[in-house]
């Protein structure tokens, strides 16, 4: 695991540890590296000031621009499903607060994260750099197009609910790579799906039902869809 600048010296992590014990271990998160990353990254740095006390609550929380920071269990579940070992290059679509990118930075060699709302991307980028998550690069753009400049990726994780698997992800995924993304026509409830590329063929596996904000873009929902 990397040693992000301020992580070791952050304030008491009792809530963080109890979040790991009560919300993650009890619900099937077994990957020791994921548990360690979740126990290390200070989620309070990524929530709005007024929500600091709920930073380790078992729920998503609102962030700016009507978006959310995902529930801790959701982040852990997606990270575990990627099966990262530490050497990978990961594309994270939907930077939001930057929290999931920070967790991924402890699990992979390099994280490229893309956010469609410029203000969120800028805040997340500053936050990640100031707190020592130096293997994360943030950009603004339509993440349904992936980020071709840094492809191929060993893993792609999408933190917003799409209508279908965007073709650019398949093109930008390395052989044997994995994509974890929520999908569903119902805009308020999605199935988390893990895709794997084997000999150029994509297989899919359902991981459960979750709730995400919509993935908006050329290969996602229209910005004005209900
Ligand atoms: N991973 C985030 C975190 O840890 O805070 C949670 C992000 S929130 C659930 C989903 C984010 O996806 C929102 O910030 C939203 O603006 C972003 N988003 C939606 N469509 C997108 C797209 N096409 N490209 C990039 N980001 C997108």
What structural domains and CATH numbers belong to the chain? 12-224 (3.40.50.150)
> In this structure, what token pair is assigned to residue 109?
């060699």
**CA 155 – CA 137 distance, rounded (Å):** 15
What pLDDT score was predicted for residue 11? 54
The active-site residue, picked from 10, 18, 22, 70, is 70
Q: Is 173 helix (H, G, I), strand (E, B) or coil?
A: strand
**Under DSSP, is residue 89 helix (H, G, I), strand (E, B) or coil?**
strand
Query: 3-state SS of 32-76?
Result: HHHHHHHHHCCHHHCCCHHHHHHCCCCCCEEECCCEEECCHHHHH
State in Å, rounded, how far the first CA of the chain is from the last one: 41
Helix, strand, coil % (nearest 5) of the chain? 35, 30, 40
Of 167, 170, 154, the closest CA to residue 220 belongs to 167
| C-alpha of residue 207 to centroid of ligand 1, in Å | 20
Judge if the beta carbon of residue 40 lies within 6 A of ligand 1.
Answer: no
- Give the single-character DSSP code of 148: G
Whether the CB of 104 sits within 6 Å of ligand 1: no
* Predicted TM-score (pTM) of this structure: 0.94
Calculated CA dihedral for residues 101, 103, 104, 106, nearest 10 degrees = 130
Q: What is the structure's pLDDT at 153?
A: 98
* Catalytic residue status for 70: yes
10-residue averages of pLDDT along the chain (226 residues): 44 82 98 98 96 95 96 98 98 98 98 98 98 98 98 98 96 98 83 95 96 94 79
Task: Locate 220 and state its tokens.
Answer: 């996602």
- Kindly give the distance from the C-alpha atom of residue 199 to the centroid of ligand 1, in angstroms, as a whole number: 30
């Amino acid at each position: 695991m990397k040693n992000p600048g301020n992580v070791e010296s952050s304030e008491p992590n009792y809530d963080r540890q109890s979040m790991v014990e009560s919300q993650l271990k009890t619900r099937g998160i077994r990957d020791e590296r994921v548990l360690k990353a979740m126990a290390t990254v200070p989620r309070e740095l990524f929530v709005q000031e007024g929500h600091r006390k709920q930073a380790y609550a078992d729920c998503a929380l609102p962030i700016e621009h009507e978006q959310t920071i995902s529930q801790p269990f959701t982040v852990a579940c997606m990270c575990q499903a990627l099966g990262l070992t530490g050497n990978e290059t990961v594309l994270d679509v939907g930077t939001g607060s930057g929290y999931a990118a920070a967790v991924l930075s402890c699990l992979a060699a390099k994280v490229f994260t893309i956010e469609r709302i410029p203000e969120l991307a800028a805040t997340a980028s500053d936050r990640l750099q100031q707190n020592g998550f130096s293997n994360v690069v943030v950009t603004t753009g339509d993440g349904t197009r992936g980020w071709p400049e840094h492809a191929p990726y060993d893993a792609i994780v999408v933190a917003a609910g799409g209508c279908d698997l965007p073709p650019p992800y398949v093109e930008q995924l390395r052989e044997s790579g994995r994509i974890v993304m929520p999908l569903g026509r119902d805009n308020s409830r999605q199935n988390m799906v893990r895709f794997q590329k084997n000999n150029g063929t994509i297989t899919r596996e359902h991981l459960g039902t979750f709730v995400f904000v919509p993935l908006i873009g050329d290969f996602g929902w229209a910005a004005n869809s209900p």
